[in-house]
Structure formats: structure tokens, C-alpha cells
Amino acid sequence: MAFALPVWFVIQEELLGHGAADHDAPSFFDELDDEALFQMFHLTRPCIAFIADSVRIRMKKVTLKNPELSVDAMVMVTLNYYAHGVCSTAILEKVGMCRSDCPVVINTVSGVIAGMSDQFISFPLIREAKANVAFKIQKFCGIPNVLGILAPAHFKIRASPYEKDTFRSFVNTLCYTSVVSQIICDIDGNILSVEKCCVGSTLEQEMWDSSFKGREMEEELHGPYWVIGGKGYNLSKHVLTPVSEPAHDNEVRFNEAHKKIHNVMRTMLGSMKRRFRCLMQLGYAQEGSLDKKSNIIKACSVLHNISKKFSVPPPPVAGKIEPLHPGKKPFVPVEINNEALKARTRTH
């Protein structure tokens, strides 16, 4: 579960307490006014300062290929890439970096921020936290005992059409090439879990079955709770999917409630992709070497949660928000769970 704001500042103090972060040292960010900062990075000054401080202390353990570059410069270039999908010439000139250095810098910083996910992306574990999340979701849509919304998140990539088998593996249900991660979020759009980075044709049920969170849920490690999933998932002991052909009023009400809560994930992903436009096109990808894409996705997920804690608004909507993927069920028949069937009739 996402941390309350005071806890985050305690974390920041603890991180900085282990290193000599010099708050009086000049920063490249100080040379930009607040409006320019948001335009360049889609983040506010306090949020950027928190991110830079958190990265700076962790970078002390990283061996840099170009030790002459300051951490602030590397963070600035990376955040600019996240926000726009390219490194702007103005930023590169400001920090004195060549464009050819960008991939190494972005991959290094992305790995560091992705490594912060244990602190900034967390599933509700204690009883009180689970009850609070479930209460807010039930209040919103009427479905009881739900811990989060589960969905595959697709991110466009480029793949070589000359490698036909590889190309086809990246083509998803909406007929474009992508990589896909599994994300769970809460009612407020905080990311509770992000796992996997697979080729776009991967079935969401396959990801769920092989994911850490999926195994934990199905093995009863999180108690008698559900996650809300779309049509591409099997109705199971802990995943509630919509009724394909509602036959009575209770099932119609459940589908309406399911659609309402499921739309939270669509809104969250749309907001995250507007803030971090690199996620609109992650560039060239090859099957079997997706670690760098995974780090960027996880890093943006970490920064999404941090930006929400600092109440940073996303950039305005431009065009239509991409729909959640319709999903494609596996062909293997599964036994229908009776408790799940009953849960579809208990919407309040």
C-alpha cells in the first residue's frame, strides 16, 4: 500500500542520513523556474528534489562509465527523457552531455529508480491496511473485499518486421507491437504492484499464473480478498471478472460496478503515460532482452507514486485515452469457483 506523506519524508531523511547529500550545493534544476521545470519534466520542484536526493544517495554504490557527470545531470537527462520520450537539446547543452551518452545514462538511472520499488510500490500487507483499501473500494463501487484492480499494461515498441516470428510475438490484441507488464492499482490510482515485461502477445492469465502476486493471492497469503480483473483472466478464487452474459439484475449490477472500478486502471495508465511520454513509445526491442524496458516501466511506476504523494497534476489530456486491452482468454478450460460466482451477486 502507498505510504502516507509523512512516512515518505521519514524515508527521505533515513536515505539522506546515510550519505553526505549537500543541500547547499548548486543544482542544474535551480537554474529553471517552476513553469520551465514542469514543462521539461512534468514534475514540481519539491518532487524533483525528493527524487534527486533519493537517487543521489543510491548512486554512491553504482560504478559510472563517465564519473565526470554529476548525479543531478544524469537525473535531469533521465527525467527529461521520461517526460518527452527524447532528450531535449537544451537539457543536453545545459549539462554538457553528448546525445550518444543518453542511452547509458538513462539505463543507469532507470536501474537505480527501479531498485527503489520496494520502498515506493507496496501491496497492503497488514490487516488494517487491507481493510482500509477494501472499504474505500466498496464505498466507490459496492463490491466488497477487493484489494486492487489488476490489468495488463501495454507499452508500444518497435520490432523488426524482417524477423517474422519475433515480430509476431510482440503483436498484441489491438494489433500493434508492444511489451506488457502486470499492474495492480488501488482506488486512488496508486500502483500497488508492477511485475513482468513480456512480449505483447503474452496472455494476461499466463502472466498472473507465473507472477509473484498471482501465486501469493492464489495460495491464500493475502486472505479472503479479491482483485478485479478483465475478460482476459479466469474467474478464480481471488480474481473477479465480469459476467459474460448477465442473466438477472444482480449480475447486471455487478457488471456495472465492475466496469466502474476497472475504469480506474484505465484512467491511471492514461495519467501515467501523459506524465511519462516515453511510455507511449519505448523504442526498439528484442525478445529475450527486455530488462532495460522493464527498468524504465518500473522506474516510471515508482515516480508515478511519488508524484501522487506530492500532489503533482499530470499534463492535460491530449486526444483519447487508450482503452484497456480487451484480453484473450487461454483455451484451457478451468473449473469455475463457486465463491467467485457468489461474490458476483453481493454488490451493495
User: pLDDT digits over 205-217, tens only?
Assistant: 999 999 999 999 9
Q: Which residue has the higher pLDDT, 339 or 229?
A: 229
Q: Residue 347: what residue type?
A: T
Q: Which residues contact 315 (CB under 8 A, 6 or more apart)?
A: 42, 274, 275
pLDDT digits (tens, 9 = 90+) for 263-304: 999 999 999 999 999 999 999 987 777 999 999 999 999 999
Residue 178 contacts residue 285 (beta carbons within 8 Å) = no
Q: Is the dihedral of CA 198, 199, 204, 205 positive or negative?
A: negative
Residue 195 in this model has a pLDDT that exceeds 70: yes
pLDDT digits 0-9 by tens, 12-64: 555 444 444 444 556 889 999 999 999 999 999 999 999 999 999 888 766 66
CA distances from 129 to 4, 64, 156 (A): 12, 40, 34
- 79-113 pLDDT, tens digit per residue, is 999 999 999 999 999 999 999 999 999 999 999 99
- The mean pLDDT of 162-180, rounded to a whole number, is 90
pLDDT at residue 275 in the model: 96
pLDDT at position 216, please? 94
As a whole-number percent, the residues of the chain with pLDDT over 90 amount to 70
**pLDDT for the residue 3:** 44
* Identity of the amino acid at 93: E
Residue 2's pLDDT band, with cuts at 50, 70 and 90, is very low
What are 11-26's pLDDT values in tens digits? 555 544 444 444 455 6
Region 240-251 average pLDDT: 90
pTM: 0.90
Q: What pLDDT is attached to residue 20?
A: 45
- In the chain, where the domains are located: 5-18+27-120, 127-287+313-346
Residues, the chain, total? 348
> Over 80: is that where the pLDDT of 332 sits?
no
